[in-house]
Amino acid sequence: THPFSSHIFAAATEDGSIFIIDSREPRLTQSMILDDSIHAYHSISINPLDPQFIVAGNEFTGAGLFDLRSWKKIFTYNCSSWPLRKSDTDSVCFNSDGSRVFIMQRSLPPCVFKTLSQEPEFCCVDDGGTYRNTVTMKSGCFAGERDEYVVSGSDDFSIYWWKLPNKADG
């Protein structure tokens, strides 16, 4: 949902469309389609303080940051160091002040990015080696009073959380 208007929301669909919908309109129109892909979108999030930015997770092209002012994708986030790898993205979300994005991609560790940066700020490492995101789709989110944690489910049916570095530390 749009942070400043309860009538506007974003929807990501399995048929590969991203819609920006105004519920005051009587029906969906072509002008509401932000992106139209041949691959499914699994997740979408509107920046809570700067709603011109939307992040969406696609099963093939990964997590993209869209700018509603130009109605275009600005760039793609990738948790892999190999840029040509298929980036099946299960879950995307902004933190509460919109400065960070949490991305979960299949078979990769979850990563946190500064909203306007393609380089991961933090990648979640499981020192015990039991975290996996390969079999089922997972959802992740920020947690804590100041979004100092990220949380995710795992293929072993456990919940994992990671403490993020302090923003002031760089």
Specify the length of the chain in residues.
Answer: 170
Please name the residues in contact with 81: beta carbons below 8 A apart, sequence gap of 6 or more.
Answer: none
Q: What is the pLDDT of residues 19-32, one digit of tens each?
A: 999 989 888 777 88
Whether pTM > 0.85 for this model: the answer is: yes
Q: What is the pLDDT of residues 141-150, one digit of tens each?
A: 999 999 999 9
Residue 79 has pLDDT above 80, yes or no: yes
Which tops the pLDDT comparison, 128 or 155? 155
Mean pLDDT in residue range 121-133: 87
CA distance 57 to 139: 11
